[in-house]
């Protein structure tokens, strides 16, 4: 498997259950730092991605590569020291439809933000 140019030996990834067990006591972005470090040492890539926009249910999610696919770690709360606080009860492997929806939502968000920023820039320039 190859992700963003990085070759991944799937057998070296944590399983879904192993990753969730690692987060059992520190279900937060900070708790995920050990896994990111381990992945970075093994693969040269952290293999986790923050998706900081709402999917209509969660404030955001972090996506982590696991042996079975890609695990969504949703969050609705944040703390100053732990950062995103994951709802492990609602963690799930992402399917094709969910990934397509994430892509569509991100594209719409990004396009709208870029258009708005461009309009803001034009307004500031014309003042």
Residue-wise pLDDT tens for the chain (127 aa)? 899 888 899 999 999 999 999 999 999 999 999 999 999 999 999 999 999 999 888 999 999 999 999 999 999 999 998 999 999 999 999 999 999 999 999 999 999 999 999 999 999 999 9
Give the residue extent of every domain in the chain: 2-94, 95-127
Question: How far is 52 from 60, CA to CA, in rounded Å?
Answer: 5
Tell which residue, 62, 58, 51, has the closest CA to residue 104. 51
Residue indicated by tokens 């404030």: 59
Question: How far is 80 from 59, CA to CA, in rounded Å?
Answer: 16
Question: How far is 116 from 29, CA to CA, in rounded Å?
Answer: 30
Structure tokens of 86?
């994951």
Which DSSP state fits 13?
S
Q: What is the pLDDT of residue 1?
A: 86
Structural contact between residues 1 and 10, judged by C-beta atoms closer than 8 angstroms: yes
CB-based burial label for 6 (10 Å; 0-12, 13-18, 19+): middle
Q: What is the pLDDT of residue 72?
A: 97
């Amino acid at each position: 498997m190859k992700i963003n140019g990085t070759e991944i030996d799937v057998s070296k990834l944590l399983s879904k259950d192993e990753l969730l067990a690692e987060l059992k006591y520190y279900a937060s972005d900070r708790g995920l730092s050990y896994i990111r470090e381990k992945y970075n040492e093994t693969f040269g890539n952290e293999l986790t991605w923050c998706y900081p926009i709402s999917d209509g249910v969660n404030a955001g999610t972090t996506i982590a590569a696991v042996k079975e696919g890609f695990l969504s770690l949703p969050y609705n709360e944040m703390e100053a020291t732990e950062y995103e606080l994951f709802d492990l009860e609602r963690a799930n492997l992402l399917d094709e439809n969910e990934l397509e929806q994430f892509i569509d939502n991100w594209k719409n968000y990004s396009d709208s933000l870029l258009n708005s920023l461009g309009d803001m820039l034009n307004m500031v320039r014309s003042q």
